[in-house]
Amino acid sequence: MLRPVETPLSSAGRETVAASVPLRPAVSALPAYVPGARVAPGGRAWKLSSNENPYQPLPSVIAAITAAAGEINRYPDMYASELVEALAGHVGVPPEQVVVGNGSVAVLSHVLQAVVDAGDEVVYPWRSFEAYPIAVAVAGGTSVTVPLEPGTGRLDLAAMAAAVTPRTRVVLVCTPNNPTGPVVRADELSAFLAAVPSDVLVVVDEAYLEFVRDPAAPSGTEVLAAHANVVLLRTLSKAYGLAGLRVGYAVAEPRLAAGIRAVSTPFGVSHVAQAAALASLAQPAQTELMERVDALVAERTRVQDALREQGWELPESQANFVWFGLGQATLECAAQASAAGVLVRPFAGDGLRVSIGEPAANDAFLAVAKSWV
């Protein structure tokens, strides 16, 4: 029997049908993740809006990417076994303690999926990494935000510990804190972990670890060895310059790592990204990349010193950016910077984050900052 021919729906009709499909309330309420501004096609500007490494990839990394590109008709190694081995050796832990993913944001989502049930609380500082409220909501958790110390940009770990309740499953500790820059000190973190119940997971987000020079900063691996409820979150996007390929990883005790791995996206790290990461961790690329990090740290010092000479009072950044708590003047100052050919990252009503770039870009920004004074 012939079926009657169905009349195709108009675009308006399709929209009506789609509107009848309910989204999860948590998804409908998600805040939008706002990426750093990009240079318009054909435009000319310094991009200091995304905390990227300004240096182009090393020739050895490009060669690895080129070779891997010829094999993209095949699925990647699902568990990135060779990369996990390399990262484990780099960190100094057994491979079963390392889980990789499509950038540290994806790995954070997998961590939350592994331990958070609907309605569970996740405590984190605010303002901090913009993806935190999104990841928590998608996992079905409830965000509990704790203000930073007034005027310092530092995490208030005592207040965060006090915010932990019997419903708390995870606490997120961003160090150095994005977007303000200060690092958590070892004694602060030790006191915090002593105050947090051992069945609450503490995620220490170390996305900017390689830029830290503060001798009072904790050793993440030592903290992990002493506390089974700690997970370290790291990335190769910043110091290693692989932002466009997305490679992040978690380091955790084996049982937790296995749980995180179980909920991870299959084949989440592409073959090309795995090859680039392996090339970056190998010698002499590792040494060359850390020399670039040292150069960026030197630029950070130069920029912060110059800004203070201009009269600015800034948080002591240990990352590859600086923070201006401009409050209601934030969007106006960001527009002025853009008009001067410098793209920065505004957080409306709070302040501006400005990445450390190449010296010429930093000089262009210093001129803009001087005009604000």
Average pLDDT, 10 consecutive residues per value, the chain (373 residues): 58 62 81 74 85 96 98 96 98 98 97 96 98 96 97 96 98 98 98 98 98 98 97 98 97 98 96 98 97 98 98 97 97 96 96 97 98 90
Show me where the domains of the chain are located. 46-51+285-372, 74-281
State the chain's mean pLDDT as an integer.
Answer: 94
The CA distances from residue 246 to 7, 233, 373, in Å, are 44, 14, 38
pLDDT of residue 255: 98
Q: Residue 25 contacts by C-beta under 8 Å, 6 or more apart in sequence? A: none
- 74-281 folds as Aspartate Aminotransferase; domain 2 (3.40.640)
Q: List pLDDT tens digits, range 119-178.
A: 999 999 999 999 999 999 999 999 999 999 998 999 999 999 999 999 999 999 999 999
pLDDT of residue 273: 98
Buried b (16+ CB within 10 A) or exposed e, 200-224: bbbbbbbbbbbbbeeeebbebeebb
CATH 3.90.1150.10 fits 46-51+285-372, yes or no: yes
- Contact of 76 with 267, CB cutoff 8 Å: yes
pTM here is: 0.92
